[in-house]
Amino acid sequence: MNCDVLVIGGGLMGCATAFDIAKRGCSVVVAERGAAPGQETTAKSGAIIRAHYGVPELVTMALEANKRFQNFEELFGGDAGFRQSGYAVLVDEQDANTLKLNVAMQRALGVEVELLSPDEFKAMAPSVKIDDVALVAYEKNGGYASPSQTVNSLVEGATKKGARFLYRAPVLDAVARGDGWQISLGDGTSLSCGQIVICTGNWSRSVGELFDLELPVVPMRAQIVVVERPTSFTGDFPVVSDLINLAYFRSEGERGMWVGSSDSADLKDFQSIPLRGGAIKHCPDADPGAINAAKNKAALRFEGIDALDKGGVQRAFCGLYETTPDWQPIIDSFETVHIAVGFSGHGFKLATVMGEEMGCRVEGENSPFPTQIFDLARFADKRPVASQWKYERAKFLR
């Protein structure tokens, strides 16, 4: 089999990349190790769409990504399940000034975000407890989407444009041949292609080795708990990033509430991830300590949630953040090999923007987005990407 471009990895990043490349009329194949697209980190994603970042380049790309979720059907031909519920960041006195500085920077870049008093926010979201809150940043265009709907729409759209998706097709070997690559897949077949895009998330370290690239991506285990809301508190509420108790919350269906931690101490290095060809071992379920902690954090922030209630949990699970040393992505190109990996918790929202970025790189066009600071050499050169104004407790996670 021959193609212009092989995308390795059929998570959201690979699917969005295939969509853009196929749209340009190039022949593109996606090789995915699993039985279906988007079953790994993408399936565990909170899928929250926000532009609240401390790095201006990320703000710019997240803002563009948000616009795409608002017009997803028109742009990609399917539904992403986007709920424009709003997105709020809650801080106490010690982080109020940092919030103001970040919001001023975001507004200068075009983000529609405003500063609200706790009472103004309470009027919008009556179930939120605000006694310890000093200031709120509210992005009305923020919200969350559905990972499965987003992936399926992109796969369908890309397929209609001519992309081919191979499942149970792990890439096991790569040999430079002529001006392209000869690729061996786990099913014993091989294919040749001109260019490669690596979109292998948590598996990028081992896939990078095939191309003599050292990609410093480390899986970090995050635990998610979906707690039950009372009958008096149903439907969508704004996504809440609570930088006081280091947690984030969003609606999950009519009665559920997704609770995630934004405390780096809760993340565990998960090194036992299998290499290229190995069976996929999933990380263990969330542990009882994490479930209790999530319920406590939800009870601290929302009316009507009982931390001591013996039930009250719809589901609890783990996901693996694909992290780099500075918790920022690696977006780079080495002649015929392009890289979009290590999104460290930001990748869901950025995927369609990255798809276009990779499409441009494949075609040798100038990058439309400010991706230069996310080059691979920054780690060796000791130029980590960092927010200018860091929150006291959340640090690099925001």
Ligand X SMILES: Cc1cc2nc3c(=O)[nH]c(=O)nc-3n(C[C@H](O)[C@H](O)[C@H](O)COP(=O)(O)OP(=O)(O)OC[C@H]3O[C@@H](n4cnc5c(N)ncnc54)[C@H](O)[C@@H]3O)c2cc1C
Question: Under the rule (CB under 6 A), what is the footprint of ligand X?
Answer: 8-14, 31-34, 38-42, 44-48, 170-171, 199-203, 207, 222, 224, 276, 319-321, 343, 345-349
Minimum CB–partner distance for residue 320 and ligand X (Å): 6
Minimum CB–partner distance for residue 289 and ligand X (Å): 17
Q: 40 CB contacts (<8 Å, ≥6 apart)? A: 11, 34, 201, 202, 280, 320
What is the DSSP secondary-structure string of 248-307? EEEEETTTEEEEEE--GGG-EE-TT---TTS--PPPPPPPHHHHHHHHHHHHHHBTT--T
Minimum CB–partner distance for residue 234 and ligand X (Å): 22
Nearer to ligand X, 136 or 151 (CB): 151
* DSSP letter (8 states) at residue 44: G
Nearer to ligand X, 33 or 338 (CB): 33
Nearer to ligand X, 216 or 230 (CB): 216
Minimum CB–partner distance for residue 87 and ligand X (Å): 10
Nearer to ligand X, 117 or 334 (CB): 334
- Type of residue found at 217: V
Q: Rounded to the nearest 5 degrees, what angle is found at the Cα of 84, between the Cα atoms of 146 and 65?
A: 70
Minimum CB–partner distance for residue 13 and ligand X (Å): 3
Nearer to ligand X, 71 or 94 (CB): 71
Beta bridge partners, 171, equal 185
Nearer to ligand X, 269 or 303 (CB): 269
Tokens representing residue 371 in the block: 């991706």
Minimum CB–partner distance for residue 174 and ligand X (Å): 10
How many whole angstroms separate alpha carbon 295 and alpha carbon 10?
A: 34
Determine how β-strand 313-323 pairs with β-strand 218-228: antiparallel
